Structure 1
Protein backbone atom coordinates (compact mmCIF):
# COMPACT_ATOMS: atom_id res chain seq x y z
CA UNK A 1 0.00 0.00 0.00
CA UNK A 2 1.24 3.47 -0.82
CA UNK A 3 0.02 6.47 1.16
CA UNK A 4 1.54 9.57 -0.40
CA UNK A 5 1.64 13.24 0.45
CA UNK A 6 1.03 15.63 -2.46
CA UNK A 7 1.43 19.43 -2.27
CA UNK A 8 1.66 19.21 1.51
CA UNK A 9 -1.61 17.26 1.89
CA UNK A 10 -1.60 13.75 3.28
CA UNK A 11 -4.47 11.24 3.29
CA UNK A 12 -6.28 10.71 6.60
CA UNK A 13 -8.06 7.55 7.66
CA UNK A 14 -10.72 6.62 10.17
CA UNK A 15 -10.73 3.48 12.28
CA UNK A 16 -10.69 -0.06 10.91
CA UNK A 17 -9.65 0.95 7.38
CA UNK A 18 -8.28 -1.72 5.04
CA UNK A 19 -6.07 -0.71 2.10
CA UNK A 20 -4.69 -3.45 -0.13
CA UNK A 21 -0.91 -3.58 -0.62
CA UNK A 22 -1.28 -2.74 -4.33
CA UNK A 23 -3.51 0.32 -3.81
CA UNK A 24 -2.32 3.95 -3.90
CA UNK A 25 -3.92 6.82 -1.94
CA UNK A 26 -2.52 10.27 -2.69
CA UNK A 27 -3.03 13.81 -1.40
CA UNK A 28 -6.23 15.39 -0.05
CA UNK A 29 -8.16 12.20 0.68
CA UNK A 30 -10.25 11.31 3.73
CA UNK A 31 -11.32 7.72 4.28
CA UNK A 32 -14.08 7.27 6.86
CA UNK A 33 -14.40 4.46 9.38
CA UNK A 34 -14.60 0.87 8.10
CA UNK A 35 -13.60 1.79 4.53
CA UNK A 36 -11.93 -0.85 2.36
CA UNK A 37 -9.79 -0.15 -0.70
CA UNK A 38 -9.18 -3.22 -2.88
CA UNK A 39 -6.35 -4.29 -5.22
CA UNK A 40 -4.93 -1.98 -7.88
CA UNK A 41 -7.09 0.98 -6.82
CA UNK A 42 -5.86 4.58 -7.12
CA UNK A 43 -7.48 7.37 -5.11
CA UNK A 44 -5.84 10.61 -6.21
CA UNK A 45 -6.70 13.82 -4.34
CA UNK A 46 -4.16 15.94 -6.19
CA UNK A 47 -6.44 18.58 -7.76
CA UNK A 48 -9.56 18.53 -5.55
CA UNK A 49 -10.45 16.78 -2.28
CA UNK A 50 -11.89 13.27 -2.20
CA UNK A 51 -14.03 12.15 0.76
CA UNK A 52 -15.09 8.53 1.12
CA UNK A 53 -17.81 7.91 3.69
CA UNK A 54 -18.05 5.37 6.48
CA UNK A 55 -18.53 1.76 5.42
CA UNK A 56 -17.70 2.32 1.75
CA UNK A 57 -15.72 -0.20 -0.25
CA UNK A 58 -13.79 0.84 -3.35
CA UNK A 59 -13.54 -2.15 -5.64
CA UNK A 60 -10.59 -3.66 -7.53
CA UNK A 61 -8.99 -1.49 -10.21
CA UNK A 62 -10.98 1.67 -9.47
CA UNK A 63 -9.46 5.07 -10.24
CA UNK A 64 -10.92 8.02 -8.33
CA UNK A 65 -9.84 11.52 -9.34
CA UNK A 66 -11.55 14.92 -9.42
CA UNK A 67 -10.47 17.45 -12.01
CA UNK A 68 -10.98 21.21 -11.75
CA UNK A 69 -14.56 22.26 -11.05
Structure 2
Protein backbone atom coordinates (compact mmCIF):
# COMPACT_ATOMS: atom_id res chain seq x y z
CA UNK A 1 0.00 0.00 0.00
CA UNK A 2 1.46 3.36 -1.01
CA UNK A 3 0.11 6.63 0.38
CA UNK A 4 2.36 9.60 -0.39
CA UNK A 5 2.29 12.99 1.32
CA UNK A 6 2.93 15.49 -1.53
CA UNK A 7 3.27 19.30 -1.43
CA UNK A 8 1.96 19.44 2.13
CA UNK A 9 -1.14 17.30 1.43
CA UNK A 10 -1.86 13.72 2.46
CA UNK A 11 -4.62 11.64 0.81
CA UNK A 12 -7.81 11.37 2.91
CA UNK A 13 -9.72 8.08 3.09
CA UNK A 14 -13.16 7.57 4.62
CA UNK A 15 -13.43 4.68 7.11
CA UNK A 16 -16.15 3.00 5.00
CA UNK A 17 -14.13 2.97 1.75
CA UNK A 18 -12.56 -0.24 0.41
CA UNK A 19 -8.92 0.26 -0.57
CA UNK A 20 -7.06 -2.66 -2.18
CA UNK A 21 -3.56 -3.32 -0.84
CA UNK A 22 -1.75 -2.90 -4.18
CA UNK A 23 -2.40 0.71 -5.23
CA UNK A 24 -0.97 4.25 -4.93
CA UNK A 25 -2.61 7.41 -3.58
CA UNK A 26 -0.53 10.56 -4.00
CA UNK A 27 -1.24 14.17 -2.99
CA UNK A 28 -4.61 15.92 -2.78
CA UNK A 29 -6.84 12.85 -3.16
CA UNK A 30 -10.02 12.24 -1.15
CA UNK A 31 -11.78 8.87 -1.10
CA UNK A 32 -15.36 9.30 0.14
CA UNK A 33 -17.76 7.00 1.96
CA UNK A 34 -18.61 3.62 0.45
CA UNK A 35 -16.11 4.13 -2.41
CA UNK A 36 -13.69 1.47 -3.63
CA UNK A 37 -10.18 1.69 -5.07
CA UNK A 38 -9.05 -1.56 -6.68
CA UNK A 39 -5.72 -3.26 -7.45
CA UNK A 40 -3.06 -1.47 -9.53
CA UNK A 41 -4.86 1.89 -9.31
CA UNK A 42 -2.79 5.09 -9.19
CA UNK A 43 -4.51 8.31 -8.08
CA UNK A 44 -2.23 11.33 -8.12
CA UNK A 45 -3.18 14.96 -7.81
CA UNK A 46 -0.59 17.68 -7.40
CA UNK A 47 -2.44 20.51 -9.23
CA UNK A 48 -6.13 20.31 -8.29
CA UNK A 49 -7.94 17.97 -5.91
CA UNK A 50 -9.47 14.62 -6.82
CA UNK A 51 -12.58 13.42 -4.98
CA UNK A 52 -14.08 9.97 -5.38
TM-score by length of 2: 0.87
Question: Larger radius of gyration, structure 1 or 2?
Answer: 1
In structure 1, distance between residues paired with 2:5 and 2:31? 15
Structure 1, unpaired ranges of 5+ = 53-69
TM-score by length of 1: 0.69
Q: How does 1:22-37 map to 2 (within 5 A)?
A: 22-37=22-37
- Runs ≥4 residues deviating over 3 A: none
Name the counterpart of 1:6. 6
Structure with more contact order per residue of length (Cα contacts < 8 Å, sep ≥ 6): 2
Q: Kindly state the Cα deviation for residue 15 of structure 1 after the two structures are TM-superposed.
A: 2.2
Structure with bigger strand share is 2
